[in-house]
Amino acid sequence: MNINEFVGLKHKFNGRNYDGVDCIGLCQLFYREHGYKQTWDDGEPIPPDWQKYKYRLLLYLRKHFAKAQTVGELEYGDVLLFNVDGDYHLGIYLEYGRILAMQVPCLEGVSQSTIYPRPWWEPFFVCGFKRR
């Protein structure tokens, strides 16, 4: 799979395909295209207020993934949570310290998915979630 297929996708709230994605949609698309079984769906709609959804997302991640406490535990396809200026974001660990994530700040129709190097995202790392 060519990782560049996931770079440059426009930010679209609740988007789940190549026409546009949010951070969860980017994870969902990546997992679907890689044949990973995770659906990223807890059966409830995602509200426009991301801050209210983040707790539900954390519960989902804890239920379906094994927690990684350190950056060194991350492997290809693992998910990581990072916090930039109080806003939580998801990224997918690729390899060699790189992650796939939406550009920060996330602006509808403007921001794009991109690859960040470790020196950029590591200071914001909160925790990781390993694929089971």
Mean predicted confidence (pLDDT) in 102-113: 91
Element (H, E) at 55: helix 50-64
Give the angle 15-19-21 at the CA atoms, nearest 5°: 30
Which residues is 80 bridged to in the sheet? 91, 128
Q: Tens digit of pLDDT for each residue in 41-93?
A: 777 776 666 566 777 888 888 889 999 989 999 999 999 999 999 888 999 99
pTM: 0.90
Domains of the chain (ranges; CATH) run 3-130 (3.90.1720.10)
